Amino acid sequence: MNLLLFSLFREKKRRRIEELNENMVVDGGNGDRSDWQGRWDHVNKFLERAGPFTHPDFEPSTESLQFLLDTCKILVIGAGGLGCELLLFALSGFRHIHVVDMDTIDISNLNRQFLFRPKDVGRPKAEVAADFVNDRVLGCNVVPHFKKIQDLDETFYKQFHIVVCGLDSVVARRWMNGMLLSLLIYEDGVLDPSSIIPLIDGGTEGFKGNARVILPGMTACIDCTLELYPPQINFPMCTIASMPRLPEHCVEYVRMLLWPKEKPFGDGVALDGDNPKHIQWVYQKSLDRAAEFSITGVTYRLTQGVVKRIIPAVASTNAVIAAACATEVFKIATSAYVPLNNYLVFNDVDGLYTYTFEAERKENCSACSQMPQDLQFLPSAKLQEVLDYLTENASLQMKSPAITTTLDGKNKTLYLQTVASIEERTRPNLSKTLKELGLVDGQELAVADVTTPQTVLFKLNFIS
Amino acid sequence: IDNYDFCHNRAALSSGTERLTCNSITLLKCHFGLSVSFTTVVESHPDNALEDLRLDQPFTELKHHVESYDLDNMEKKDHSHTPWIIVVAKYLEKWYSEHNSQLPKNYKEKEAFRQLIREGNVIHHIPRILTNENGTPEDEENFEEAIKNVNTALNPTKVPSATEDIFNAEQCENITSQSPSFWVIAHGVRDFVRNEGNGKLPVRGTIPDMIADSDKFIKLQNVYRDKAMKDAAVVSKHVEALLQSVGKPPESTSEQEIKLFCKNAAFLRVVRCRSLAEEYSVDTFNKDEITSCMDSTDSEMVLYLMLRSVDRFYQQHSRYPGVYNYQVEEDINKLKLCVNSLLQEYSLNVNVKDDYIHEFCRYGAAEPHTVAAFLGGSAAQEAIKIITHQFVPFNNTFLYNAMSQTSATFQL
């Protein structure tokens, strides 16, 4: 029985290769697009035929393909492990694609970011990815942007029908989430659906991954489910400074304490995880540290892993999650099927496991609920406590919030970290009480942070 | 570009009796199956593994080490940097003396044990209570760790059932010169367990990080490490003797292999898959699994039945249903006949909804590449698992539905 299946399979494969080779000859059939006959057959079956499981709004038509080919504009954020795989959906007919990535190619990327070759090391990922796809997929036009997502503004983001993310940081995801939320238009409190740009977000870590569909303003956003993200592991300073036990503690000691003290490569030269000389120095010093405490296990690889905060990446997980995301892009762009509603989890540590569920919106989400966020503090509480709350609270998890407010009709910065001179000037405010700073019950505080492109408004409530 | 090939090439297939077949990748659903006779996994890397601390039955070296601590006569600094394992061990001794040497077993007893530790932290002739800013007493952090870990640290040490099954397997019992090293070492570990181990596996040798000063932590870690090495050496002796008895040189298994095996002894897995023949034969196919899954008519099982029916269609008509637009309507009936003949042949009294038959004709054997990529990535990793004997492969049929983004694994 199995022999029969195998021979059928082989026969089918042989036939299809013949078919493709025959039809590779350019024929003018589709205007000047140089599409060979049957190029879009697979896709057309989903666009031109009715079926029992399609989206309720779906209508079969020959024009859907034209929309994909000519009009639909997709933005891919990230051209790394997920991004490279995501760009594959260019094969389904999407031709107007932009890709944003601020990174250059490292040799360690080559085992899974398959659009890159050894000769590309050092070049911007977005540009090499775009070149590769444009060469490989006839008619496709990928436009690269070698930039941070924060360097582009709303006029840029507004032009896209769908945004797909293959990011490696929660902060970046939240920013993107916030940007799309800021594009929503409300008329008399009612959301204008044409202002919604769907966000499809994929993430992987080793053998685990997830894919989710976000309709900003309608379904759960990134911040609604912030608690789902595992906390970063940071070792306590006292362990690093005086009581190391693990090889990782030794490396962190060198990175955080020794490097700033000894400045081995010059004043103001920051530790660069991609510079082998830097890593070699850290490695040697970590060995010394470890020897002091009889700790074994410090290796070059471990050193680099700790410095760069490397989480092992597996090519197959990226393939699977990107595939799931790309399927959603297709579904949403064509309305062929009901999109994922709205969160898929994948894990292949033991067998193959997926779990699909609907993540719920948080009623008072700081990003998408449009509800003013409440803060409860004693009037005698210090500003430092407010700062701590903003960074430590699980639903907020801000990184370096800047707090401003209106006092006596004038805008006043209470505390700002990101500009050294202002930080110095406002630092004394941290040890003042809220009352001393002139804040009253019901005071509105505007907080800006790298996790969101828009300021978040908080209402201060005094408790007694 | 042949999308299917592109993705398929990423799955490195091994030869011999192991076969990972990517069958019928068509349409918006796909499935693949595994028909390996069995695959052994030494490093399964479980997500949530319990530690192997032996607190319920401390080995001699651990007992001595614990004895070297005198919690009542320590400097405060030492006291708050004593590893929680030592703390629990000390209080367990106290508990034993008051409870007839019985481990705390249920929630009530574990809670009482935790209370014992809390009180112990407070009542000392030298005040050791930390107080926070508001003046309320806090436990020392290492004592807090001890309390937190009571739940899992006091589980009785025993051989997990999966490992027991491996010990009792036929391949483990009957070692020959052809036996793969997995079974040879397993037999060696089994000998250890039944003799020097007193019913317990070789000590794993690792401890989790915990609040402690470097010196105390490293010393404690070394106690476990050294014991693990000792146990592994004993296992090595058993393995050597075994190899000799079947005429193989002792170098056939390396020290490293044996050490790795001992370290993972609690996580060993063997995955036995049925063959394609067993899956397809009317006498041995898994009727129960299919029937019970089909109780819910939209279970992924219906996709499996549809894929089998589509294969049948191909056999009869030398083409797939609905490839050309004009065929879609008429193929629905033809495909339905295939479905019915399949159900009849296997005496399956299940209901396959017409919607699915229509849907499969609609597909016309289309292979959306995103679906192929999902399958390709999954299959590639499964192949790697089998080749490297790390992580646990699926068993044995995986179905993916891209419409709903759901999946299921069936053992067929």
pLDDT tens digit sequence for B240-258: 999 999 999 988 899 999 9
Same domain, A171 and A69: yes
Question: Chain B partners of A320 at a C-beta cutoff of 8 Å?
Answer: 373-374, 377-378
Contact A20 B404 (CB under 8 A): no
What pLDDT digit, counting tens, does each position of A332-374 carry?
988 888 999 999 999 999 999 999 999 999 988 888 887 778 8
Same domain, A304 and A327: no
Kindly state whether residue A180 falls inside one of the protein's structural domains. yes
Contact A348 B382 (CB under 8 A): yes
Same domain, A251 and A196: no
Domain edge (last residue) among A292, A323, A357? A357
Interface pTM (ipTM) of the complex? 0.83
Kindly state whether residue A257 falls inside one of the protein's structural domains. yes
Kindly state whether residue A1 falls inside one of the protein's structural domains. no
Question: Chain A partners of B369 at a C-beta cutoff of 8 Å?
Answer: 42, 88, 91-92
Q: How many Å apart are CA A80 and CA A110, to the nearest integer?
A: 10
- A296 is in which domain, residue-wise? 237-308
Of A51, A295, A354, the CB nearest to B362: A51
Same domain, B281 and B397: yes
CB pairs under 8 A between A and B: 177
Same domain, B169 and B221: yes
- Tell me which of A26-35, A270-279, B131-140 is least confident: A26-35
Kindly state whether residue B17 falls inside one of the protein's structural domains. yes
Minimal Cα distance from B319: which residue of A? A12
Q: Is 90 exceeded by the pLDDT of residue B226?
A: yes
Q: Is 70 exceeded by the pLDDT of residue B129?
A: no
The residue type of A19 is E
Q: How many Å apart are CA A404 and CA B8, to the nearest integer?
A: 56
- B113 is in which domain, residue-wise? 60-153
Contact B363 A13 (CB under 8 A): no
Contact B46 A350 (CB under 8 A): yes
Minimal Cα distance from B394: which residue of A? A351
Q: How many Å apart are CA A144 and CA A147, to the nearest integer?
A: 9
Question: Chain B partners of A41 at a C-beta cutoff of 8 Å?
Answer: 366
Predicted local confidence at residue B27, as pLDDT = 43
Contact A294 B214 (CB under 8 A): yes
Contact A323 B370 (CB under 8 A): yes
Q: Residue B235 corresponds to which tokens in the numbers above?
A: 């296992």
Determine contact, residues A369/A360, Cβ cutoff 8 Å: no
Kindly state whether residue A17 falls inside one of the protein's structural domains. no
Collapsing DSSP to helix, strand or coil, B230 comes out as helix
- Tell me which of A19-23, A70-74, B152-156, B262-266 is least confident: A19-23
Kindly state whether residue B49 falls inside one of the protein's structural domains. no
Question: Chain A partners of B221 at a C-beta cutoff of 8 Å?
Answer: 245
The pLDDT confidence band at residue A28, using thresholds 50, 70 and 90, is very low
Q: Is 80 exceeded by the pLDDT of residue B286?
A: yes
Q: Which of A14, A207, A344, A354 to mutate to probe the B interface, most B CBs <10 Å? A: A354
The CA-atom distances, in angstroms, between A413 and each of B18, B107, B173, B400 are 68, 53, 76, 54
Q: Chain A: nearest CA to B243, how far in angstroms?
A: 32
Same domain, B12 and B70: no
- Tell me which of A30-44, A83-97, B140-154, B363-377 is least confident: A30-44
Neighbours of A270 (CB within 10 A): 10
Same domain, A257 and A212: no
Q: Chain A: nearest CA to B241, how far in angstroms?
A: 33
**Paired sense of beta strands B29-35 and B397-401, if any:** antiparallel
- Tell me which of A210-214, B64-68, B75-79, B264-268 is least confident: B75-79
Q: Which of A42, A140, A298 to mutate to probe the B interface, most B CBs <10 Å? A: A42
Same domain, A144 and A179: yes
Kindly state whether residue A5 falls inside one of the protein's structural domains. no
Burial class (CB in 10 A: 0-12, 13-18, 19+), A315: buried
Number of domains in chain A: 3
Same domain, A187 and A320: yes
Q: Chain B: nearest CA to A88, how far in angstroms?
A: 8
Determine contact, residues B84/B145, Cβ cutoff 8 Å: yes
Same domain, B210 and B102: no
How many residues comprise chain A?
464
Predicted local confidence at residue B6, as pLDDT = 30
Of A16, A319, A351, the CB nearest to B373: A319
Q: What is the mean pLDDT of chain A?
A: 87
Contact B374 A327 (CB under 8 A): yes
Kindly state whether residue B315 falls inside one of the protein's structural domains. yes
Same domain, B295 and B392: yes
Query: B372: domain CATH number?
Result: 3.40.50.720
Same domain, A110 and A222: yes
Kindly state whether residue B50 falls inside one of the protein's structural domains. no
Helix/strand/coil (H, E, C) string of chain A?
Answer: CHHHHHHHHHHHHHHHHHHHHHHCCCCHHHCCCCCCCCCCHHHHHHHHCCCCCECCCCCCCCHHHHHHHHHCEEEEECCCHHHHHHHHHHHHCCCEEEEECCCECCHHHHHCCCCCCHHHCCCEHHHHHHHHHHHHCCCCEEEEECCCHHHCCHHHHCCCCEEEECCCCHHHHHHHHHHHHHCCCEECCEECHHHCCCEEEEEEECCEEEEEEECCCCCCCCHHHHHHCCCCCCCCHHHHHHCCCCHHHHHHHHHHHHHHHHCCCCCCCCCCCCCHHHHHHHHHHHHHHHHHCCCCCCCHHHHHHHHCCCCCCCHHHHHHHHHHHHHHHHHHHHCCECCCCCEEEEECCECCEEEEECCCCCCCCCCCCCCCEEEEECCCCEHHHHHHHHHHCCCCCCCCCEEEEEECCEEEEEECCCCHHHHHHHHHHHHCECCCCCCCCCCEEEEEECCEEEEEEEEEEECC
For residue A319, give the nearest of B172, B275, B379 by alpha carbon: B379
Number of domains in chain B: 3
Same domain, B226 and B304: no
Q: C-alpha dihedral over A364, A367, A371, A376, to 10 degrees?
A: 70
Of A8, A88, A294, the CB nearest to B369: A88
The pLDDT confidence band at residue B131, using thresholds 50, 70 and 90, is low
Same domain, A128 and A191: yes
Q: Is 50 exceeded by the pLDDT of residue A455?
A: yes
Q: Is 50 exceeded by the pLDDT of residue B330?
A: yes
Q: Is 90 exceeded by the pLDDT of residue B146?
A: yes
- Residue A140 CA, chain-centre distance (Å), reads 24
Contact B392 A13 (CB under 8 A): no
Same domain, A268 and A154: no
Q: Which residues contact A274 (CB under 8 A, 6 or more apart)?
A: A106, A308
Q: Residue A24 corresponds to which tokens in the numbers above?
A: 């590779």
Predicted local confidence at residue B140, as pLDDT = 84
Question: Chain B partners of A295 at a C-beta cutoff of 8 Å?
Answer: 214, 218
Q: Is 90 exceeded by the pLDDT of residue A63?
A: no
Same domain, B231 and B335: no
Contact A354 B23 (CB under 8 A): no
Q: What is the mean pLDDT of chain B?
A: 85
Same domain, B239 and B351: no
Q: Is 50 exceeded by the pLDDT of residue A2?
A: no
Minimal Cα distance from A89: which residue of B? B370
Q: Which residues contact A327 (CB under 8 A, 6 or more apart)?
A: B368, B370, B371, B374, B402, B405
Of B7, B314, B368, the CB nearest to A42: B368
Question: Chain B partners of A230 at a C-beta cutoff of 8 Å?
Answer: none
Instruction: Give the angle B210-B213-B214 at the CA atoms, nearest 5°.
Output: 95
The CA-atom distances, in angstroms, between A400 and each of A110, A330, A419, A436 are 34, 38, 11, 23
Contact A295 B364 (CB under 8 A): no
Question: Chain A partners of B3 at a C-beta cutoff of 8 Å?
Answer: 91
Same domain, B111 and B184: no
Same domain, B148 and B224: no
Kindly state whether residue A203 falls inside one of the protein's structural domains. yes
Q: Chain B: nearest CA to A52, how far in angstroms?
A: 6
Same domain, A161 and A186: yes
Minimal Cα distance from A336: which residue of B? B403
Q: Is 70 exceeded by the pLDDT of residue B32?
A: no
Domain edge (last residue) among B153, B176, B209? B153
What pLDDT digit, counting tens, does each position of A191-215 carry?
888 999 999 999 998 999 999 999 9
Kindly state whether residue B344 falls inside one of the protein's structural domains. yes
Predicted local confidence at residue B130, as pLDDT = 55
Contact B378 A316 (CB under 8 A): yes
Q: C-alpha dihedral over A52, A56, A57, A62, to 10 degrees?
A: 0
Contact B374 A50 (CB under 8 A): no
Q: Is 70 exceeded by the pLDDT of residue B11?
A: no
What pLDDT digit, counting tens, does each position of A294-329 carry?
999 999 989 998 998 887 889 999 999 999 999 999
Kindly state whether residue A37 falls inside one of the protein's structural domains. no
Burial class (CB in 10 A: 0-12, 13-18, 19+), B212: buried
A375 DSSP β-pair partners: A460
Of B4, B364, B409, the CB nearest to A351: B409
Q: Chain A: nearest CA to B105, how far in angstroms?
A: 30
Minimal Cα distance from B19: which residue of A? A2
Kindly state whether residue B54 falls inside one of the protein's structural domains. no
Contact B5 A13 (CB under 8 A): yes
Neighbours of A360 (CB within 10 A): 12
Same domain, B247 and B285: no
Q: Chain B: nearest CA to A245, how far in angstroms?
A: 5
Neighbours of B155 (CB within 10 A): 13
Contact B371 A50 (CB under 8 A): no
Same domain, A225 and A82: yes
Of B209, B211, B280, the CB nearest to A1: B280
What pLDDT digit, counting tens, does each position of B148-201 carry?
999 889 989 999 999 999 999 999 999 999 999 999 999 999 999 999 999 999
DSSP B362: H
Q: How many Å apart are CA A429 and CA A415, to the nearest integer?
A: 7
Contact A327 B217 (CB under 8 A): no
For residue A279, give the nearest of A257, A262, A250, A302 by alpha carbon: A302
Kindly state whether residue B382 falls inside one of the protein's structural domains. yes
Q: Is 50 exceeded by the pLDDT of residue B17?
A: no
Predicted local confidence at residue A9, as pLDDT = 45
What pLDDT digit, counting tens, does each position of A34-61 carry?
677 777 887 888 888 888 888 887 888 8
Predicted local confidence at residue B412, as pLDDT = 86
Q: Chain B: nearest CA to A454, how far in angstroms?
A: 33
Question: Chain B partners of A351 at a C-beta cutoff of 8 Å?
Answer: 392-395, 409
Domain edge (last residue) among B123, B153, B183? B153
Question: Chain B partners of A91 at a C-beta cutoff of 8 Å?
Answer: 1, 3, 369
Q: Which residue carries 């490695």 as its tokens?
A: A283
Q: How many Å apart are CA A211 and CA A344, to the nearest integer?
A: 5
Question: Chain B partners of A204 at a C-beta cutoff of 8 Å?
Answer: none
The residue ranking higher by pLDDT, A228 or B231, is: B231
Q: Which of A1, A49, A65, A237 to mutate to probe the B interface, most B CBs <10 Å? A: A49
Q: Which residue carries 């209370």 as its tokens?
A: B115
The pLDDT confidence band at residue B7, using thresholds 50, 70 and 90, is very low
The residue type of B331 is D
The pLDDT confidence band at residue B325, using thresholds 50, 70 and 90, is confident
Predicted local confidence at residue B19, as pLDDT = 55
The pLDDT confidence band at residue A16, using thresholds 50, 70 and 90, is low
Q: Chain B: nearest CA to A60, how far in angstroms?
A: 12
A382 DSSP β-pair partners: A433
Same domain, B145 and B168: no
What pLDDT digit, counting tens, does each position of A373-390 carry?
889 999 999 999 999 999
Kindly state whether residue A176 falls inside one of the protein's structural domains. yes
Catalytic residues of A: 238
Question: Chain A partners of B280 at a C-beta cutoff of 8 Å?
Answer: 1-2
Kindly state whether residue B45 falls inside one of the protein's structural domains. no
Question: Chain B partners of A337 at a C-beta cutoff of 8 Å?
Answer: 28, 403
